[in-house]
Structure formats: structure tokens, C-alpha cells
Amino acid sequence: MVSSQSRASSRPLRRGIVPRRVERSPSALYEQTRLMRCLARRRRLHLALPYDAPDSHPANNRNAMDRRLPPRRPVPHPRPADGAHRPTPDVLAEIFQRCLRFDGLGALNQPAALPLEALALSHVSSRWRSAAFSQPALWSSIWVDRPRAAHIPMVETWLERSQQNPLLLYLRQTPDPGTPHPFTSPNEAEFTERVLELFGAQFHRWRRVTFFFTRHAPQALLRLPTIPNSAPLLQHVHLVANEHWSDADKHKVERILHARPSLISITLHASTTQKSIPWIQLTELDTNQMGCAVVHYVAVLRLCRSLTRVELRILPDAPDAPFIRPSLRAALPKLESLTVHLDHADVAPLLDCLVAPALKSLVLRYRRAFRQSNDPHALHLLLQRSGAGCILRRFCLADTPRTREPDSGYYLAFLQSPQMVGLTELSLNVELSDAIMRFLTLGAPEDGPGTPRFLPALETIALSDLTGEHHDDLELYRMVVSRLGRPLRSAYFHLCLKGHSSSPVLPLLFERCWEKLDLRVYLAPCDDAHSSSGWYKAEPIPGGYLTDA
């Protein structure tokens, strides 16, 4: 009679079921361990043998390990659970949509790429095909770069499989068509018309459109209906024309696209006439492609009280420009994200004219600024003037290298405002110094109540310095380690360090951050011929966490 204990030990494991713990005798445990080791060696041997050789295939000839082992019953291997290796069609479709991000506007010295990833999925298996077809959003983003004959059937297929899903359309003609390009079709204007005709038949499904035209205004675009409810889903428009367009064509196309009750986002270009823009209903405004003086921005922002995201490019004022009175402020009660690009200009004149009680993200990118104004003080006044609810969560500062502030006091002045205490994301692309590292180093509780603890809520830190100046790797180590166990989750550094890739501190830093922090260090190139640049890969410390067991 076979005992229940032996039956339990010999019963094969069923898929997805965890067997209950059974007490076994030492001899049974030894025999099972020996059998598992033999099976493991056998599987490794099978993987090592070339299966295309007739004598090595297990179906033709038993290998040496089979001859040494005693005869035994085959032990079935438990198959992995379906939930981990065979997701449901809904989950599979969501994975497809999140992973297949395609940017179809490629380099001009290469052929235009077709977004065929979604089509390739449908040819893998019938299961993947059904999952791809069941996700119309996977086919609703259509990229047409330098239109050619292959785009026509592609657009037809994508429009059909997107069903009634809102469309995200991108089309770009070849820049500077007067210059011959090896990868441009000579009939690009004709193919553009045909693509726009296909798009126009689905005008009621347009949601976001980005069109870059370098030839005459397409007739298919001019024939679109002007009825307000003909495009009820249209939310974002980015239209770029050129000198080949007449003023009448520009006005007509902008009236067709901009005069929509549903339009809430727009990207302005130098060719935009701005005569049909519904400023009062905009929630997103991007003027990075054109730029203008502060006085014009203030006049526009006073009309856009519903803005939540703004990206501006400030150009220097003319010598005879009127003085902007701070009393004529623009109140933006819903503004959450502000990005400002500065060309030979300061941001203080703009910040002095704003009130943004809901501001959470601020990005300042300087380019050859003169620093005639005290921008840190203007930012402090803006945050103070906007009310107690204005506490920044994200702050990014980029500045060109300069030597006016060797102690980095100018950059630290941005971070010392009380409204910065709630920052969760900090990005600095400036001329770094040890003073900035020490400012970001958290003091330990045992150091006493007077120890400064700046920006304690940081979750992401990104520090970059492309000047080639070497920084103390020990200061970097102290700063990162002081924030372990705190909210900090990721840290990215792009700079030159003393010791370069052979620094004795970097392996210790990665050892301390193992499984605690997403740490990435890119060693920037410098004048030292013996240094190496690139992503740093920590060498394992013997006996440490990084050692491969």
C-alpha cells in the first residue's frame, strides 16, 4: 500500500496551484534533490548540443547523460500560469498602445519611415491580430512624412481600422522644396492632395492636427467646411505655411481650423496671422516657434484667463519699447505650467506682470542672457503675490556657461524661496559648484534643530554641467546618500567628476543606492585624454549587493 505521504510527493504539480508543504524523510529528500540536479544537467546539455546535427537530436540518439542515468519515469514540468504569459486581449491591446510610440517626422537624409508597427503586430499571430484590431486608438495616430505613393494605401488602412476613434494627424512636406532631395517624390504635391482628401473625408473625427507645408496651399484643405459643428472634436492645431501661400489662403485655412468652439490648444508660428484665434477659450498656448517681446505677451495673456499650460519665447525689447507697468498684470487663475525660453532677455519683466495662484511647474531656459534684472527676486515676488496656494512642485533651470557667479549664488537664489519647499522635481543645467551640492545635501536629524534641510520633498533630481569643470565625487556621494530613505526615487547626473570612471567613490555610491534609488550617471567628456565618457557602469564590490552570486 502506498502511503498518502508518498502519493503527495509523486503527484505532478498542476498549473497555477501551489502544493501544500509535506514532510519528507531524509532519504526521499536526497533522492528528489539528486533527480532535480540530473534533470537540470540534462536540460543544460540539450541546450548546448547543436540541434541541427542528426546525432545530437534527442529523438534520434540518446546523449551521454541519458546513458549514465538509470531508467526513470518522466517528470512533467509545471507550465507557467496563463495570467503572466497570456494576458487578456484588453491588457494586450493596452500594452500595444503604450509601447508603440512612433515619431514619424524623421531625418531628411533618410527615407521617410512608415508607422508599420501596428501592422506588424497583426501578422504575428491570430491572437495578436484580434487584439490589434480591437484597439482603434492604435490606428488613430497617422504620420505622413514627405508624402509619397506608399502613404495612400497606408492612410486608407489606418482610417478604416481606427473605426470612429478621434484622429491625431501629422503631415510634413519636404522643407525647401527648391533644393533636390534624394528621398522626396517629384509628385509630392499631388500625393499631399490625395492624403488630405482622405483626411478631409473624416473631418468630423479630427482631434489634433500638425501640418507643415512648404508648397502652395492644398486645395483639399481649402475645401473643408466652415460650419462650426463640422469638426466637433478638434482641440489642437499646429499649422505652418510659407511664402507660397497668399494672404487670402492663410485667412481661409485659419478660419476653417481655428474658429472652432472645441479648440483649446494652439501652437503659433511666424506664418500665423492670429486673426481667427479664440483666445478666451484656450487652455494651452505654445509660441516657442516664433517669440516676441514681453509687452505683446502681456496683452495676449490678459485675454486668456483659462490657460493651464503656456510655453513662451521672449525676445529683447526694441530700444524705444514702452515701459511695462506692473500694475497692468495678467491674472491667470488656472495656470499650472509655465515654460519660458529667453533669448538675450530676462524673465523678470514678465514675472512682474503675472499672478498665477495655481502655478505648479516652472521652466526657465536662458540663452545668452544679459542679467540686467534680478530674476530670482522677481520669481520670489511672483510666488508671494500669487497666494499661499502657489507652491511649486517642478522647477527646471537651464543657463549658458558664464563666470559672473563663481559661487553659484545666483542659481541658489532661485531655490531659497519659501514657496520652493514643496518641490518634488528639480532639474538644473547650469554651471554647477560644490555650493549647490552642499545646498542639496540634507542634514541628519542628529545634527541638531538648526541644521538646514532644503527641499526635503524632492523625488527626482537631474543635474547637468557641460562646461567641462570637474566636480568633487565625494560631494555628490554625500548629497545622494543623505536623501536615501526619503522621497527621492530617481537621480540623473551629467557632469565631469574627479577620478572620472576610475573614481573610488562611484562604486560605493551605486552600492548604497542598490534597490533604493534609480541612479544614473553620465560622465561628460573633458580635456583629460585618459578619461572615458558615457554611462557609468558600477563595478561590483566583492561581497556587496552588486556582486553576482
Asked whether residue 241 is assigned to any structural domain, the reply reads yes
Closest CA to 268 of 252, 249, 254, 248: 254
Q: How far is residue 209 from each of residues 22, 213, 313, 540, measured CA to CA in Å?
A: 64, 13, 22, 50
Q: What are the tens digits of pLDDT across the range 142-201? A: 999 999 999 999 999 999 999 999 999 999 998 876 677 777 888 999 999 999 999 999
| Residue 463 phi, psi (nearest 5) | -120, 130
Number of domains in the chain: 1
Question: What pLDDT was estimated at residue 330?
Answer: 92
User: Which residues lie closer than 8 Å to 411 by C-beta, 6 or more apart?
Assistant: 397, 399, 405, 428, 430, 436
Residues with pLDDT less than 70, the chain: 1-85, 101-104, 177-178, 319-327, 369-370, 401-407, 444-452, 529-530, 539-549
Q: How far is residue 191 from each of residues 144, 173, 184, 237, 282, measured CA to CA in Å?
A: 10, 10, 11, 22, 33
Closest CA to 439 of 419, 465, 413, 459: 413
Strand partners, 208: 168, 236
* 182: CATH: 3.80.10
Asked whether residue 131 is assigned to any structural domain, the reply reads yes
Asked whether residue 157 is assigned to any structural domain, the reply reads yes
User: Domain containing 141: what range?
Assistant: 88-277
Question: What pLDDT was estimated at residue 39?
Answer: 44
Q: How far is residue 220 from each of residues 151, 196, 205, 259, measured CA to CA in Å?
A: 16, 6, 16, 18
Q: Where are the beta strands (DSSP E) in 37-135?
A: none
473: helix, strand or coil: helix
Q: What are the tens digits of pLDDT across the range 87-117? A: 777 777 777 777 776 666 777 777 777 877 7
Asked whether residue 207 is assigned to any structural domain, the reply reads yes
312: helix, strand or coil: strand
Asked whether residue 349 is assigned to any structural domain, the reply reads no
Please state the pTM of the whole predicted model: 0.78
User: Which residues lie closer than 8 Å to 375 by C-beta, 6 or more apart?
Assistant: 346, 347, 348, 351, 364, 414
Q: What are the tens digits of pLDDT across the range 453-481? A: 789 999 999 999 988 788 889 999 999 99
Question: What pLDDT was estimated at residue 450?
Answer: 52
Question: What pLDDT was estimated at residue 119?
Answer: 81
Question: What pLDDT was estimated at residue 444?
Answer: 66
403: helix, strand or coil: coil
32: helix, strand or coil: helix
Q: What is the dihedral of CA 217, 218, 220, 226, to 10 degrees?
A: -10
